[in-house]
Amino acid sequence: MNAKKILVTGAAGFLGSHLCDSLLSAGNTVLGVDNLSTGNMANLAHLHNESRFDFERLDICQPFDPGKVDYVFNFASPASPVDYARLGVETLLVGSAGTINTLEIAKKYHAGYLHASTSECYGDPEVHPQTETYWGHVNPIGPRSVYDEAKRFSEAAVMAYHRYHRVNTHLVRIFNTYGPRLQINDGRVISNLMSQALRGEPLTIYGDGMQTRSFCYVSDLIAGILALAASNEHLPVNIGNPEEWTILSCAEEILKLIGSDKKIVFKPLPQDDPTRRRPDISKAISLLGWTPKIQLRQGLEMSLSYFQEHAETGLVQNSQ
């Protein structure tokens, strides 16, 4: 894409920091903003001397004006079930006020806009695999609702700014993504299991481990997002890897990779934990010519040195 000055919210997070790297590599100037509620400045440390990168610590729930920008990528939000359980009201606010504030920036400066939505919009899906036309099955008052409903509100807000204010908006529904800089202590399954295996601890499986997820490596995800941002599509597009794993088989794969003889321990399944999740990516393939390239085993190998470096220092939180 030809944009010159780009605003990335949630820049100090896992995905936001990788997005900043890709946008800078393509020659853009980037302003990253973040309130550091779940992010970490270590994710941006390598950009310290990058003259085309600036960072401001701020909360996007308060209106702010970054000056003229050509594009807004809105990635700010707690993202893991452990984080949004801890930051419930903050998650509702960032998905509502934060999204509106960033849409106002795009409207003011006639900038393009891409919002990081989620497979959680489908809730515990009754349609499998999930297509973008499925409206979802979300418990609006359950423990996950602070995230799911905030993201669904965000999608409604993005479509409204497109319809009523003609903002050039895009919605990506991201499925579980992993890779270096995934926070060690955010309780997500890959960060928990990789760091537990590396520390020689038993791997925690919630429920019987037969629930499924589809894991996308971060570079594949960012490539899909950049393709969507440059497209003319305004309706949601799934980006994820359709290879579907039970959580138990994912744990076994991690044990094989790390060569640990440690056991698996079973813990209670959190309420409303989705049973199955796999993206139908036909739309991304036909519209963007995008497909993921990296399968789980290879992506875990590519992430191994990051987890080896951080597994000892990171405190793993469990959702129990």
Binding to ligand UDP (CB under 6 A) within 56-85 occurs at 80-81
Q: Which does 174 bind (CB under 5 to 8 A by kind): ligand NAD, ligand UDP, none?
A: ligand NAD
189 near ligand UDP (CB under 6 A): yes
What does the alpha-carbon distance between residue 116 and residue 144 come to, in Å, rounded to a whole number? 17
Q: Which of these is catalytic: 71, 84, 147, 217?
A: 147
CA distance from start to end of the chain: 43
b/e map 234-271, b = 16+ CB within 10 Å = eebbbbbbbebbbbbebbebbbebbebeeebeeeebbe
Q: Quick check: is 147 catalytic? A: yes
* Stretch of residues binding ligand UDP (CB under 6 A), selected from 125-133, 151-159, 188-196, 255-263: 188-196
Among 35, 91, 195, 211, binds ligand UDP (CB under 6 A): 211
What does the alpha-carbon distance between residue 109 and residue 69 come to, in Å, rounded to a whole number? 6
Among 138, 182, 205, 227, binds ligand UDP (CB under 6 A): 205
Q: How many CB atoms neighbour CB 132 within 10 A?
A: 18
Nearer to ligand UDP, 30 or 94 (CB): 94
Residue 56 bridge partners (DSSP): 33
What does the alpha-carbon distance between residue 276 and residue 270 come to, in Å, rounded to a whole number? 14
Residues in contact with ligand NAD by CB under 6 A are 9-10, 12-16, 34-39, 59-61, 75-79, 94, 98, 116, 118, 174, 176-177, 183
Nearer to ligand UDP, 72 or 316 (CB): 316
215 near ligand UDP (CB under 6 A): no
What does the alpha-carbon distance between residue 303 and residue 37 come to, in Å, rounded to a whole number? 24
Residue 237 half-sphere exposure toward CB, CA atoms < 13 A? 28
What does the alpha-carbon distance between residue 92 and residue 35 come to, in Å, rounded to a whole number? 15
104 near ligand UDP (CB under 6 A): no
Shortest distance (Å) from residue 79 CB to ligand NAD: 3
Active site residues: 147
Q: Which residues are near ligand UDP by CB under 6 A? A: 80-81, 176, 187-189, 192, 204-206, 211, 213, 247, 270, 273
